[in-house]
């Protein structure tokens, strides 16, 4: 494991240090290894190799996102690198281009950088060759961690042929078999997650529940899945007369097919590499223990792909595995051994990942150890029975697996409703547990710990004064309006439902009296997907005069199916919410630009006014009455579509920019400079998180 740690340090450094510097370390390490400073030399050598790997990975990614890409309408031929995933009412995937044909020109061979393909259907799978007609534009970005140099928006996409690789063909066949045997119900979708890591059909509310309960790793496919696959192969190969060496060799092939079927997620790559090392050692008559397998696997993987050092899934997988190996011997002498062994593995794995969870997500699920202890045997039973049912086509076995998966969902939904502990809460809990362990007052300290967690679990109540909260939903808008009476309104929902639900849960919101969808862009209404299922909604406002986008149409359809009244509102509409008065001052007419048709809302309470203008641009801004609100939500996340003169006239004392990490250049430097020049205090959700402004 020391070698793995050195390699990991080098890979982390390699992303910020030039490759040449890492090569110097490699040379120094090689010299040291050949001298009396052998141990130090080996460490330097490993750090240097890791640095070279990390540096090359960073250079490849940077070269991809900054690569030159032609622009315009035409036809693109290429091969799918990933499976399509939902993207609003369309799908997106990463592709490798093979040929480009600009409109009215001859096709040219183009083995260019990876591209982001946005397509109307999901017919492609990894390895498929295709032809698509549409528009290509440069757009350096990342799609689920994969760098792309541009985006091709397709009118139509046609699959030409499947992959000729036997490995890809076998993996795709296994994946299709699983998907074809399971329906889209939440229980079946969870089984697909257990078997192949496919959670596309799993409701977003259940995805959030799994994360909040600490059970997400069960749909990440890792060590337990690999063990089940190899165990099943051992059972099949044994009666066929295969010896230990033959089973080990063929087991390697089975592993490769399984990795393809699960789409080489970092966790399954780690687990499969460990298993492959053990199998290879067995075939050669070499015994390799679990610690050695983990260390060699991590070292090899980082040497090949240094950017894994920054991959959150890889970090969590390695930490959890190390935790299990370190804690597996805890309480080994206690009975019943099965229960105490499972508890030791769960507690040690969860303890090992706590620092990473705090660094990456800021919180730790309170009930994660208990939820994992109860869910682990259920997940194993569901996965094993579902695998048998899928392969043999036994509906009764699949039905039993779905029943067990339903139990896991019930655990996730219950545990996910409990609070998440931040760093201070974790430190306090650890201190109390330590005190309970070393003091005679264990019962009293344990009782205090339980009472404290129950108090933390209680949702926050309504604020003492009318409050407007600009929620941090990343690159998007979501504004929560809360009154001391308990009344609440929500203006837009950002782009991700799970992020929105987490934000509303954090503020103790159980119902929404008024939901306002300012316009149909994904970064404003994409997060409202499923909101009617999760919260009691009193009324929905959508903009009048403008055509309804597909995403907004889905929100409206959901509202109507839940009996929620839907109003098309325009300038002149008024309403009240507790101590708030709400006035719609836009849209004033039909606009050519959809953003200009946003609902523009003016809030007042206690003599303080707040203007929420959606994404309106210069045209709509010029038609608004003269206003100078105390608080301004800067239109369109601070984009350059704002009239700077209007901004100077309108901005009062405080301007909020709701923005996340993005490739659009938001906020525009000229917008920020104009606000600063006018003496306006500028606050950004990207920097501060949720921004709560009491109107008193």
Of 183, 196, 201, 204, the residue nearest 229 (C-alpha): 196
The mean pLDDT value for 543-571 works out to: 89
Please state the separation of Cα 360 from the chain's center in Å.
11
39 has a pLDDT exceeding 60: yes
298 has a pLDDT exceeding 90: no
207: in domain: yes
The pLDDT value given to residue 434: 65
The pLDDT value given to residue 604: 94
461 has a pLDDT exceeding 80: no
**End residue of a domain, out of 164, 197, 231:** 164
613: in domain: yes
The pLDDT value given to residue 538: 94
C-beta separation of 478 from 490 below 8 A: yes
C-beta separation of 484 from 594 below 8 A: no
Query: Residue 521 belongs to a domain with what CATH number?
Result: 3.60.15.10
| Structural domains counted in the chain | 5
616 has a pLDDT exceeding 90: yes
Most confident segment among 189-198, 264-273, 360-369, 659-668: 189-198
Q: Are 79 and 192 within one domain?
A: no
441 has a pLDDT exceeding 70: no
C-beta separation of 620 from 598 below 8 A: yes
Relative to beta strand 654-657, strand 631-633 is parallel
The pLDDT value given to residue 456: 57
The pLDDT value given to residue 242: 61
**End residue of a domain, out of 457, 478, 504:** 457
The mean pLDDT value for 540-566 works out to: 88
Of the given ranges (69-83, 259-273, 327-341), which has the lowest mean pLDDT?
327-341
The pLDDT value given to residue 259: 86
The pLDDT value given to residue 654: 94
Q: Are 584 and 487 within one domain?
A: yes
C-beta separation of 33 from 110 below 8 A: no
The pLDDT value given to residue 109: 92
Token duo for residue 227: 């063990």
Name the band, by pLDDT with cuts 50, 70 and 90, for residue 574: very high
The pLDDT value given to residue 402: 92
**End residue of a domain, out of 142, 164, 186:** 164
Q: Are 323 and 452 within one domain?
A: no
What does the pLDDT look like over 392-440, one tens digit per residue? 888 899 999 999 999 999 999 888 877 777 776 677 666 666 665 666 6
The mean pLDDT value for 506-535 works out to: 88
The mean pLDDT value for 479-488 works out to: 93
The pLDDT value given to residue 666: 87
278: in domain: yes
The mean pLDDT value for 130-135 works out to: 94
Q: Give the Cα separation of 448 and 421 in Å (integer).
A: 16
462: in domain: no
Q: Are 126 and 208 within one domain?
A: no
DSSP 228-250: HHHHHHHHHHTTTT--HHHHHHH
Q: Are 271 and 196 within one domain?
A: yes
The pLDDT value given to residue 454: 60
Question: CA 273 → CA 31, 269, 276, 350, 598, distances in Å?
Answer: 30, 6, 5, 22, 52
The mean pLDDT value for 314-343 works out to: 79
Please state the separation of Cα 465 from the chain's center in Å.
34
What H or E segment, with its residue span, contains residue 156?
A: strand 146-161
Question: Could you tell me what percent of the chain has a pLDDT over 90?
Answer: 31
548: in domain: yes
Q: Are 82 and 219 within one domain?
A: no
The pLDDT value given to residue 582: 95
Q: Are 608 and 676 within one domain?
A: yes
**Sign of the dihedral through C-alpha 631, 635, 639, 643:** negative
568: in domain: yes
The mean pLDDT value for 587-599 works out to: 91
591 has a pLDDT exceeding 60: yes
364 has a pLDDT exceeding 60: yes
The pLDDT value given to residue 21: 65
Name the band, by pLDDT with cuts 50, 70 and 90, for residue 687: confident
658 has a pLDDT exceeding 90: yes
State yes or no: cis peptide before 336, omega within 30 of 0: yes
Q: Are 553 and 534 within one domain?
A: yes
Q: Give the Cα separation of 613 and 643 in Å (integer).
A: 13
Q: Are 154 and 58 within one domain?
A: no
Query: Residue 148 belongs to a domain with what CATH number?
Result: 2.40.50
The pLDDT value given to residue 273: 86
Q: Give the Cα separation of 367 and 264 in Å (integer).
A: 29
Q: What is the pTM of this model?
A: 0.68
The pLDDT value given to residue 424: 67
442 has a pLDDT exceeding 70: no
Residue range(s) defining the domain that contains residue 674: 467-694
Q: Give the Cα separation of 335 and 267 in Å (integer).
A: 32
Q: Are 593 and 633 within one domain?
A: yes
Mean pLDDT over each residue of the chain, to the nearest integer: 84
Token duo for residue 403: 């029943």
In the chain the first and final C-alpha atoms are separated, in Å, by 57
Name the band, by pLDDT with cuts 50, 70 and 90, for residue 683: very high
Of 242, 487, 442, 263, the residue nearest 272 (C-alpha): 263
The pLDDT value given to residue 502: 80
The pLDDT value given to residue 599: 95
Q: Are 124 and 228 within one domain?
A: no
The pLDDT value given to residue 4: 79
327: in domain: yes
The pLDDT value given to residue 517: 95
The pLDDT value given to residue 433: 64
Residues 6 or more apart from 87 whose CB is under 8 A from it?
Answer: 118
What does the pLDDT look like over 263-286, one tens digit per residue? 888 888 888 888 888 877 777 777
**Sign of the dihedral through C-alpha 524, 529, 533, 539:** positive
Give the three-class secondary structure for 382. helix
The pLDDT value given to residue 492: 95
Question: Could you tell me what percent of the chain has a pLDDT over 70?
Answer: 90
629: in domain: yes
Q: Are 148 and 227 within one domain?
A: no
Please state the separation of Cα 509 from the chain's center in Å.
23
């Amino acid at each position: 494991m020391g070698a793995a740690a050195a390699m990991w340090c080098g890979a982390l450094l390699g992303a910020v240090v030039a490759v040449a510097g890492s090569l110097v370390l490699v040379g120094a390490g090689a010299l040291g290894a050949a001298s009396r400073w052998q141990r130090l030399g080996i460490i330097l050598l490993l750090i240097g190799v890791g640095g070279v790997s990390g540096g090359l990975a960073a250079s490849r990614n940077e070269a991809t996102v900054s690569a030159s890409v032609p622009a315009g309408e035409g036809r693109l031929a290429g091969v799918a690198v990933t499976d399509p995933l939902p993207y609003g009412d369309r799908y997106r995937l990463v592709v490798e281009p093979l040929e480009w044909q600009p409109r009215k020109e001859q096709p040219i061979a183009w083995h260019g950088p990876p591209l982001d393909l946005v397509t109307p259907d999901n017919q492609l799978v990894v390895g498929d060759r295709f032809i698509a007609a549409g528009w290509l534009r440069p757009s350096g970005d990342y799609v689920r961690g994969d760098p792309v140099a541009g985006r091709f928006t397709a009118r139509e996409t046609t699959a030409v042929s499947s992959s000729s690789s036997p490995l890809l063909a076998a993996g795709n066949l296994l994946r299709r078999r699983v998907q074809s045997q399971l329906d889209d119900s939440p229980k079946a979708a969870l089984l697909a997650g257990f078997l192949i890591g496919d959670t596309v059909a799993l409701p977003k509310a259940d995805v959030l529940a799994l994360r909040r309960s600490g059970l997400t790793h069960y749909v990440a496919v890792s060590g337990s899945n690999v063990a089940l696959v190899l165990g099943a192969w051992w059972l099949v190969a044994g009666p066929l007369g295969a010896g230990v060496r033959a089973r080990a060799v063929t087991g390697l092939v089975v592993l490769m097919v399984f990795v393809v079927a699960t789409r080489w997620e970092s966790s399954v790559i780690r687990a499969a590499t460990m298993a492959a090392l053990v199998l290879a050692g067995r075939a050669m008559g070499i015994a390799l223990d679990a610690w050695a397998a983990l260390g060699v696997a991590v070292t090899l993987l980082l040497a090949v792909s240094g950017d894994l050092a920054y991959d959150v899934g890889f970090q969590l997988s390695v930490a959890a595995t190390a935790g299990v190996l370190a804690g597996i011997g805890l309480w080994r002498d206690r009975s019943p051994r099965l229960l105490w062994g499972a508890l030791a593995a769960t507690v040690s794995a969860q303890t090992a990942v706590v620092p990473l969870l705090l660094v990456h997500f800021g919180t730790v699920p309170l009930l994660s150890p208990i939820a994992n202890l109860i869910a682990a045997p259920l997940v194993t039973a569901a996965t094993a029975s579902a695998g048998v049912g899928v392969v043999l086509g036994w509906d009764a076995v699949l039905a039993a697996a779905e029943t067990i998966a339903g139990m896991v969902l019930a655990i996730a939904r219950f545990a996910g409703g409990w609070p998440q502990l931040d760093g201070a809460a974790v430190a306090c809990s650890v201190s109390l547990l330590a005190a309970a362990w070393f003091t005679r007052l264990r019962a009293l300290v344990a009782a205090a710990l339980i009472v404290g967690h129950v108090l933390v679990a209680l949702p926050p109540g309504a604020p003492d004064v009318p409050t407007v909260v600009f929620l941090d939903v990343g690159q998007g808008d979501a504004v929560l309006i809360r009154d001391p009476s308990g009344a609440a309104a929500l203006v837009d929902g950002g782009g991700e439902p799970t992020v929105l639900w987490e934000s509303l849960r954090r503020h103790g919101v159980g119902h929404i009296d008024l939901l306002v969808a300012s316009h149909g862009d994904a970064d404003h209404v994409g997060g409202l997907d499923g909101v009617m299922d999760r919260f009691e909604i009193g009324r929905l406002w959508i903009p009048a005069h403008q055509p309804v986008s597909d995403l907004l149409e889905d929100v409206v359809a959901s509202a109507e199916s839940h009996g929620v009244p839907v109003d098309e509102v325009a300038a002149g509409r008024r309403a009240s919410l507790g101590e708030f008065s709400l006035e719609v001052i836009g849209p004033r007419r039909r606009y050519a630009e959809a953003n200009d048709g946003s609902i523009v809302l003016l809030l007042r309470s206690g003599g303080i006014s707040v203007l929420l203008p959606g994404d309106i641009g210069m045209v709509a801004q010029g038609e608004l009455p003269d206003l100078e609100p105390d608080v301004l939500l800067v239109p369109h996340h601070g984009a350059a579509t704002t009239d700077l003169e209007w901004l100077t006239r309108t901005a009062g004392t405080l301007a909020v920019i709701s923005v996340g990490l993005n490739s659009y250049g938001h906020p525009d430097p000229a917008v920020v400079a104009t606000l600063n020049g006018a003496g306006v205090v500028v606050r950004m959700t990207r920097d501060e998180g949720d921004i709560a402004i009491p109107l008193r």
